[in-house]
Amino acid sequence: MAAGEPGCPGGFYFRFLPQRTFSSLSSREVTGRLRQWSMLGRIQAQAFSFDQTFQPYQKDDFVMAFFRDPNVIPNLQLLSDSPGQWTTLGTEVKKIEAVNVPCTQLSMSFFQRLYDENIVRESGHIVKCFDSFCEPFLISDELRKVLLMEDSEKYEVFSPQEREEFLFCVFKHLCLGGSLCQYEDMLKPYLETAKLIYKDLVRTLLVCATLQLKSMSRHSLTLSWIPSSVM
């Protein structure tokens, strides 16, 4: 389907780039961490290109065109209901929800407040707390309290707007992990991995397609593709 043809909203045409790899998800160190956090085989990135002019007000047409593109439908990978099994989109999407995800944070100093608020000690150790539950997660340290528990006294360390940042979303996703996650005692592995993934996905893009976690359940994740302007 060429740009501008019927059924291609906004004239957007996409090309699958199977040769584009993401080193942040394939290095030995990162794959070891993902395995520990029960995320190995359950997280991946794919690249598609387009060469038309894009404006933010066109985001709905852009996303709909993406999901209806004949180069996307047979190639876009989705995690199936079977544990660790991937499948392709396989059919046109009838309804979409496009959400702008800001990528304005360009430094890991964004997380310095975790030290300032004694959520993480100067040594880098994450401060422990009495166990509690925020379904389906067991909360056993102050970091996960800040990420999940809105009634926590330190939840407001990050504002609602900051929690929408793509860097925060990546960091949070890594910290929470999968169903058999072995949590870290130190903050450093989370920060290092989030930085690698973030830079890998957005460093060269003027418009990027990113994934937004729409459900906190480890067992049922609804994901949407989001066009986001990047400096």
Nearest Cα residue to 14 out of 56, 70, 57: 70
**Span 27-40, pLDDT tens digits:** 999 999 999 999 99
Indicate whether 159 and 219 sit together in one domain: no
Q: Is residue 1 part of a domain?
A: no
Tell whether the model's pLDDT for residue 9 goes beyond 80. no
Full residue range of the structural domain in which residue 153 is found: 108-199
Identity of residue 4: G
Indicate whether 51 and 115 sit together in one domain: no
Q: Could you give the number of structural domains in the chain? A: 2
Residue 41 has φ and ψ, to the nearest 5°, of 85, -5
Q: Is residue 121 part of a domain?
A: yes
Indicate whether 32 and 42 sit together in one domain: yes
Q: Is residue 3 part of a domain?
A: no
Indicate whether 186 and 136 sit together in one domain: yes
Dihedral sign of CA atoms 182, 187, 193, 197 in order: positive
Q: Which two tokens stand for residue 126?
A: 């994450």
Tell whether the model's pLDDT for residue 198 goes beyond 70. yes
Q: Is residue 2 part of a domain?
A: no
Least confident of 19-23, 163-167, 219-223: 219-223
Instruction: Determine the average pLDDT of the residues in 181-206.
Output: 87
Whether the pTM exceeds 0.75: the reply is yes
Length of the chain: 231
Estimate the crossing angle of helix 28-36 against helix 188-202, to 10 degrees.
120
Instruction: Determine the average pLDDT of the residues in 2-25.
Output: 74
> What's the rounded Cα separation, in Å, for the pair 198 and 24?
9
Q: Is residue 70 part of a domain?
A: yes
End-to-end CA distance of the chain: 31
Alpha-carbon distances of 39 from 84, 85, 102, 157, 175, rounded to whole Å: 9, 12, 24, 27, 11
